[in-house]
Amino acid sequence: MIRFDKVTKRFGKDYAVKDGNLVLEQGKIIGLLGPNGSGKSTSLKLMAGLVKPNNGEVTVNGEVATRRVAKTVAYLTELDFYYEPFTVDDMIWYYASQFEDFRMDKAKELLLFMKLEPGKKIKQLSKGNRGRLKLVLALAREAEYILLDEPFSGLDPMVRDSIVKGLLTYVDFGKQTIIIATHEIDEIEPLLDEVILMKNGNFLAKENVEQIREVEGLSVKEWMIRSFEEKLG
């Protein structure tokens, strides 16, 4: 599991995460929801060991989250950053050289599924196809945790549909946990097992999606709006 224990992360005087306590169990698809600037991206970076908390501790399977947790955590950044001289195939081979759990056979299947040409230079790809490539690189790993930061940002509906289908097809839900940080809920609501609500660096609520739908009779978006109203006034 991933655990936050009284975690605070500041950038200057601004709190990205404020005295946060959270437990994320394995084998689920979890939505980390909230408006832009709520602390979602920083929370994922804390889980991936890319930033350190000012106070408290983040652990992954009992290990303090540092760069070393990359062996069990695959992280898809919101940023559109690549080595532009590389081709798609170059990037695949680069990832294979960096991560022992990277499966080349799975990467090739994903390239076909995402309709990406291996020999095409990354700088020639559209934004949507670069988004698909990022997903290929993340899903080709057999990491226990896959962290996706705003995977739908700026992408057209067809690309979003490919990402959702890719998650359903190429993730081993018996062994892998998916955590998706997004402010766009509609595309991923059918996938989610749990949702966590963030605002202003605070973890406001955590709930089972089936509980929200069947007991409370709400969509995730309706639950989110109600939760903001109740907790923030």
Whether residue 106 contacts residue 118, with contact meaning beta carbons closer than 8 Å, is answered with no
Q: Say what the pTM is.
A: 0.89
Q: How far apart are CA 151 and CA 27, in angstroms?
A: 20
Q: How far apart are CA 179 and CA 193, in angstroms?
A: 10
Chain centroid to Cα 31, Å, comes to 8
Whether residue 142 contacts residue 174, with contact meaning beta carbons closer than 8 Å, is answered with no
In the chain (233 residues long), the average pLDDT of successive 10-residue segments reads 96 93 92 91 95 96 92 86 84 93 94 92 88 89 93 73 76 88 80 92 92 88 83 61
Structural domains in the chain, CATH included, are 2-232 (3.40.50.300)
4 membership: H or E segment, kind and range: strand 2-11
To which residue do tokens 């993730």 refer?
171
Whether residue 201 contacts residue 174, with contact meaning beta carbons closer than 8 Å, is answered with no
Size of the chain in residues: 233
CB-hemisphere CA count at 13 Å for 61?
13
Whether residue 8 contacts residue 17, with contact meaning beta carbons closer than 8 Å, is answered with yes
Could you write out the DSSP letters of every residue in 7-75? EEEEETTEEEEEEEEEEE-SS-EEEEE--TTSSHHHHHHHHTTSS--SEEEEEETTEE-SGGGGGTEEE
SS3 176: coil
pLDDT on residue 39? 94
pLDDT on residue 172? 85
What are the start-end ranges of the E strands in 61-208?
63-64, 73-76, 145-149, 177-182, 194-199, 202-208
pLDDT (tens digit, 9 = 90+) per residue, 57-101?
999 999 999 989 989 999 988 776 667 789 999 999 999 999 999
